[in-house]
Structures are given as structure tokens and as C-alpha cells.
Structure 1
Amino acid sequence: MADTVKFTAMKDGDKEDYEFLTAHEIDYAARTGDRLLDALVQLDEGLSGYKITRLGHSLQAATRAWQDGADTDWIVCALLHDIGDIYAPYNHDEYAAAILKPFVREQCTWVVEKHGDFQRLYYAHHLGGNRHARDRFAGHLYFDDCDRFCERWDQSSFDPDYETLPVEFFRPFVLEVFARKAYDPAVIRAGERVALTNPDTAKTRTGA
């Protein structure tokens, strides 16, 4: 069997070519979770200036989510919410949301996509900006979820003394999410809300 398609221009491809490519793409897509974990590690080399690296921040946010009893979707979104910092510094939130969108709840995608505006509450006024950029989303079904995501897991996760779980701890969560069927309505659950925190689950994880 050929290792490549026969064509050099897409319009010249035939059924055999595109069936061949589809098989390759399915196999490649199945390893998305592994590639994202590799990319996450690159955040350790990204611009920081904070007391911890971007990777440390991402791991700390995910650790807080896990300790709060959050479900898998929330944990993975907390881990990957800043994955776009290296390649899309001016719209990193949209970049991360685009990656997550086919595989997590609509609720979580919206929160990741908008968290940049919500985070402005904590700093924009110091730079002459609008700290209330989030207000244009007032009344949205997921507004309070994004507010809580930022308050509990994002803005608070720059502490070098916090006991943060390692990347490998979160590998099974990431692989589970990206092994899902893309855009499965049973996963997307449009219009549904799931609490960020679950005290009963949190007790089993922290022993508190």
C-alpha cells in the first residue's frame, strides 16, 4: 500500500486517496491528548515574570480544581486554559477553547473562551484598562461559572509555596477527554451546568 496519496492538488484526489487520508487522520487525532501534554510542558519556557512559570500556574489551577472535587471536564480545562500563551498571546483564551470545544461540555468551553475578559477584573484598572469587560456577558447562563473559575482556580494559582500535583498525575484525565468522540451531544450537553466544586468528592481526594 502506498505511503502517500497520488495527487499533488486536492481536486485531483479520488475515493481511494481520501479514504487513505481519513484513516491516517483518525489515527493522528487519537494521539491529541499526548501531544497536548507535550505542549503543556513548553509553558515552562514561556514568558513569565510571575513567581511561578506558566506550567506551574496551569498545574496549580488543575490541582485546585481536583482538590475542589471538580469533574474531569473542569480539571482538564483548568489544566489547559492557558495552553495558547506561547502561540497566541493576544487571544490565548480563544485558542485554548478551540482545542477543547469538541471534547468537553459547552459550559466549560465558554468559560475557557471568556476567562481572559473575566480575569481583567483583577488587574486592568492598574493599567488604565476596563476591569469590567466581563459585564458585556452579564446574564449569560455560564457567567457565574466563569466568575468562579477565575476566582477559585485562575487568579489564585500563582503561589510558589502551594503543593502542586505533577503533569503525570493529570495525564489520565487529559487522555480520557481527548479519546472522546468529537462533538458528541452526550459530551457537549448544551445548556447544562455542572458545579465547579463537589464537597463530597473533595473529601475523598483530600482526606479532609
Structure 2
Amino acid sequence: MTEHPAQARFTAMEDGTAEDWQAIASHFSPFAKALPDRVLDHLRLLDGDYGGFPVDRLQHSLQTATRAHRAGESEDYVVTALLHDIGDTLGSYNHPDIAAAIVKPFVSEELHWITAQHGIFQGYYFFHHLGLDRDMREAFRGHPHFEATARFCELYDQAAFDPGYDSAPLDFFEPMVRRVMAAPRNSIYARAID
């Protein structure tokens, strides 16, 4: 096995030393700083993926974010709107969970909850057409973020399937993604490494 500079030497974590963890920490910061690049690259994978919808998944994401931006929502809200369906390619059965995990370190608890629950709330607009209960979201009635999530779906998510809508391009949102993801609010790893 070739040893690289600033690389840990343990074969099991229980054998790691402070020197090993300093080596690992020295790699974390540059890797973490490149997260926006990986997120933007993954968003690009949604281009051309229609899944039967009137617009592809990238255009839906751009349209959702553009609508939120034009309505004057905060930058972290707009980035959340952009990323809310990023999990579609890897989490066909639980895409909100994937998107919520990505945004969690960077947004408020409310925006994280909106992202995590938007799938059930979005179901209000179509579940009944599939033989499901469109009111599944009612199980969350009384939650502090219920109304904010219903509002997100009503104003931005469910309305973002218009092929004629003039969405901003991904490049427009790139600086926002970079700013929002530059400073994690709540990450045990960021606190331990930085």
C-alpha cells in the first residue's frame, strides 16, 4: 500500500491517533469547499429527465427557484427551492430525504423541514388522482412549519411545471448556492474540523 503525504495510517478507527485525525482534517476543508461544485453538477444530471412531466426535472427546479426569487424570498429559501428535488435521481422513493440531508447544515430548521416534508405536502395536488389520500399532509397539522410548507408547495413547487415560463438559468443561482453553502450553521463535522 502506497502511503500519501498527510494521510492517516490506521486500519481501524479505534487505532487512530491525533496525528491521523489532523491528516484527515487537512483534507476535509478543501473537499467541503468543493461541495457547491458537486451539488451544481448533480443538478445538471436532472437536465433532460422528464419522467413524464411537462418540463424536465432541472427546469422544474429552476422554475421553482426563479418563482421564489421573483417573489422576494431570502437567498437560503431560493437555494432550498432550487435543491428541493435534487434527490430525484438517487432517491426515487424518498427524494425529499436526500434533498433535506444536503441542505440541513446550511439552512434554518424551517427550511430543512419544508424540504423534508414537501413530498407529502405536494401530494395534496395529485395523490387523489392515483388513488391515494390527498390530505396525508393533515397528519402534520399543528406543526410549526405546516403552513410554511403548504405555502412553498402552493406558490412555488406545484406551480413550476410551465414549459413557457421564463426561468433564470442555473448560472444565475450558482453564486447563491456558493454563498449559502459557504458557512454551515449546524454541522458537527464543521465544528470539529474548523
TM > 0.5 between the two? yes
Equivalent residue number for residue 98 of structure 1: 101
Letter in 1 for 2:148: D
Find out whether 1:161 has 2:164 as its counterpart.
yes
Whole-angstrom CA distance in 1 between matches of 2:96 and 2:27 = 29
Letter in 1 for 2:184: K
- The alpha carbon displacement at 1:24 in A equals 0.6
Equivalent residue number for residue 202 of structure 1: none
Q: Is the 8 A contact 2:6 2:24 kept in 1?
A: no
Letter in 2 for 1:32: L
1:29-78 per-residue CA deviation (whole Å, 9 max, x = no partner) reads: 11111110111000114352111100000000000001000101110010
TM-score by length of 2: 0.90
Find out whether 1:24 has 2:27 as its counterpart.
yes
1:88-107 per-residue CA deviation (whole Å, 9 max, x = no partner) reads: 11111111111111110111
Equivalent residue number for residue 11 of structure 1: 14
Q: Is the 8 A contact 2:6 2:26 kept in 1?
A: no
Whole-angstrom CA distance in 2 between matches of 1:153 and 1:181 = 25
Equivalent residue number for residue 176 of structure 1: 179
Deviates more, 1:40-49 or 1:20-29: 40-49
1:11-43 per-residue CA deviation (whole Å, 9 max, x = no partner) reads: 222111111101211221111111101110001
Q: Secondary structure at the match of 1:28?
A: helix
- The alpha carbon displacement at 1:9 in A equals 2.5
Equivalent residue number for residue 55 of structure 2: 52
Whole-angstrom CA distance in 2 between matches of 1:47 and 1:68 = 26
Equivalent residue number for residue 187 of structure 1: none
RMSD of Structure 2 on Structure 1 (CA):
1.4
Runs of at least 4 residues of structure 1 off by over 4 A?
Answer: none
Letter in 2 for 1:59: L
Q: Which runs of 5+ in 2 are unaligned?
A: 188-194
Q: Which runs of 5+ in 1 are unaligned?
A: 185-208
Q: Is the 8 A contact 2:36 2:178 kept in 1?
A: yes
Whole-angstrom CA distance in 2 between matches of 1:182 and 1:105 = 8
Task: Count the aligned residue pairs.
Answer: 184
- The alpha carbon displacement at 1:3 in A equals 4.7
Aligned identity (percent) is 46
Q: Secondary structure at the match of 1:20?
A: helix
| Map 1:26-105 → 2, pairs under 5 A | 26-105=29-108
Report 1 or 2 for greater relative contact order, CA contacts < 8 Å, sequence distance ≥ 6.
1
Equivalent residue number for residue 204 of structure 1: none
- The alpha carbon displacement at 1:147 in A equals 0.6
Q: Secondary structure at the match of 1:102?
A: coil
Q: Is the 8 A contact 1:46 1:86 kept in 2?
A: no
